[in-house]
Structure 1
């Protein structure tokens, strides 16, 4: 199946896990909105993680979490 770059980015976001801290190894969609808001106020990390966290905050604020959960279900990541 040919997947567009935008869809591929959403699939990556759906499967991205927090690499550190209190919520280490949790999917970004599982992070509390308040935690993401706190990061926004303090400054998201540089690079890909910060960008994905900012995107997840927008998704949560707009009530689109079911979209991410559907992507997790429909496009599962297989462990190597």
Structure 2
């Protein structure tokens, strides 16, 4: 996996919808499950959300914790 994708998950915000302005890593799991059923959007946003869905599905949220601590100081 490209480390930049993980960095993007802790630094980029949702551009629209109910969770507009929230960091991608803070989007609730139920929304990701719903979006998985509807189909993720095209492009980078869809890739980021799908990656976050897979991280949550597999219980790997811990990999984002340290990145968030590190990159929240930078951004």
Q: TM-score, normalised on structure 2? A: 0.85
2:61: which partner in 1? Answer: 65
Larger radius of gyration: 1
Q: CA RMSD in A?
A: 1.6
Paired with 2:5 and 2:37, the residues of 1 have a C-alpha distance of 24
Q: Give the superposition deviation at 1:75.
A: 2.6
CA separation in 2, counterparts of 1:27 and 1:62? Answer: 20
Structure 1: tracts of 5 or more residues without a match: none
- State the 4+ residue runs in structure 1 displaced beyond 2 angstroms: 75-78
Q: Residue 10 of structure 1: CA displacement?
A: 1.4
1:24 partnered with 2:17:
no
Specify the alignment match of 2:45 in structure 1.
49
More helix per residue: 2
* 1:13 paired residue number: 9
Q: Unpaired segments of 5 or more residues in structure 2?
A: none
